Amino acid sequence: MVKRCSVCNLPESYPDITFNSEGECNYCTAVREHYQYPGFEALKRDIDKILSQSSPDRKYDCVVGLSGGRDSSYLLYYAKEVLHLNVLALSVEHDFMPPQTRQNIKTIVEKLGVDIHYIKNDALNKASRACVRSWAKKPDVAMCATFCTGCRYGLKKLIPEHVKKVGAPLMLIGDSPFEAMDYRVKLLCDGKAETTKNKMIGYAKRLFKNPSYFSSFNSLYYQAQDFVSWENAKGNVIPTRIQPFYYIEWKKDEVLSKIKALGWGYDQSFNSTWRSDCYINMLRQFFYKKALGYNDTDVYYAQLLRDKEIDRSEALKCIQEEGDFSEDAIRTVLKDFYDVDLDDVLRRMKK
């Protein structure tokens, strides 16, 4: 049996974890304060302040990036039906979107009656293929983070530029306080302090251990974007951003009820409604679980447990049901999108 924290369920294999005599881990003892939501009125006040400072002739109040996933779909609903904003949905298209995700985008904007613009992220299409193929030749769990190379380029460059182009004063983002996955940085830092410098050193060491990464210099350029913050990105347009789920409490049952009424669905091979909008995420979670014994699912529910958003038995059940992916599904994704054989990768991982 895997030993887990008596409070948050994090396993004993998690980086730098220790347990006290009550079985509580050091991550729980370090966080005693629950997250305090400012509330709906504070959210409205901050949005109204931004809108009052913009042109009254604007066509849109805000832009919502619509991935077709659970949280962005609910955010679009919330912006239109609860906040009563004039919203533009923005879809960043790429090759790794499941058919159901594409259908979600089409269905939801039609049901809500909002405009939508589409932009294509070729950086993700090309860079992800190069990174996964390079990684498969010499698997290193810390470098699973490179699978999404090119995605941040879309977030930091393509979306902000489009927000500026349409003249919207505000961009709404669907992040919540419980989605920080610090273990990925810990893996790159090799047990040292989690600084940008140590992260870059760990990353560089791994590049030179696997020279096939150098076969695509475009991919290396987009990987470098992972080390650049929104504010420091050279030549980047920084729109005013608000994260509504940091103001209001996110309730899973309510979220699913609202978006399912709009015709939202998800590819059942993902096992979960969370992050079911991209096949790349499926790959990352599969290999994290294979190599480490845990993945983002464990960390997400651990953070919800610490904030008493869920009880321990329910969280453990969710981890067991949602944290694993079938090898058949992974085999198909690797073959169809990357021309990589899963059995070869698993052999190299064992080696």
pLDDT in tens, 304-317: 898 888 898 999 89
Q: How confident is the model at residue 157 (pLDDT cuts 50, 70, 90)?
A: confident
Q: What is the mean pLDDT of the chain?
A: 91
Q: What was the pLDDT predicted at 232?
A: 52
Q: How confident is the model at residue 90 (pLDDT cuts 50, 70, 90)?
A: very high
Q: How confident is the model at residue 228 (pLDDT cuts 50, 70, 90)?
A: low
Q: What's the whole-number mean pLDDT along residues 220-242?
A: 69
Q: How confident is the model at residue 128 (pLDDT cuts 50, 70, 90)?
A: very high
Q: What was the pLDDT predicted at 223?
A: 83
Domains, the chain, in order of start with CATH, read 34-178+217-290+321-350 (3.40.50.620)
Q: What was the pLDDT predicted at 204?
A: 92
Q: How confident is the model at residue 286 (pLDDT cuts 50, 70, 90)?
A: very high
Q: What was the pLDDT predicted at 113?
A: 97
Q: What was the pLDDT predicted at 46?
A: 97
Q: How confident is the model at residue 31 (pLDDT cuts 50, 70, 90)?
A: confident
Q: What's the whole-number mean pLDDT along residues 116-131?
A: 94
Q: How confident is the model at residue 73 (pLDDT cuts 50, 70, 90)?
A: very high
Q: What's the whole-number mean pLDDT along residues 78-85?
A: 97
The total of other beta-carbon atoms located within 10 Å of residue 67's CB is 23
Between CA 100 and CA 265 the distance in angstroms is: 7
Q: What was the pLDDT predicted at 216?
A: 85
Between 226 and 44, name the one with better pLDDT. Answer: 44
Between CA 141 and CA 289 the distance in angstroms is: 10
In this model, does residue 178 exceed pLDDT 90?
Answer: no
Q: What was the pLDDT predicted at 207?
A: 93
Q: What's the whole-number mean pLDDT along residues 243-247?
A: 95
Q: What's the whole-number mean pLDDT along residues 140-158?
A: 89
In this model, does residue 74 exceed pLDDT 60?
Answer: yes
In this model, does residue 227 exceed pLDDT 90?
Answer: no
What burial class does residue 19 get, using C-beta atoms within 10 Å of its C-beta: 0-12 exposed, 13-18 middle, 19+ buried? middle
Q: What was the pLDDT predicted at 133?
A: 96
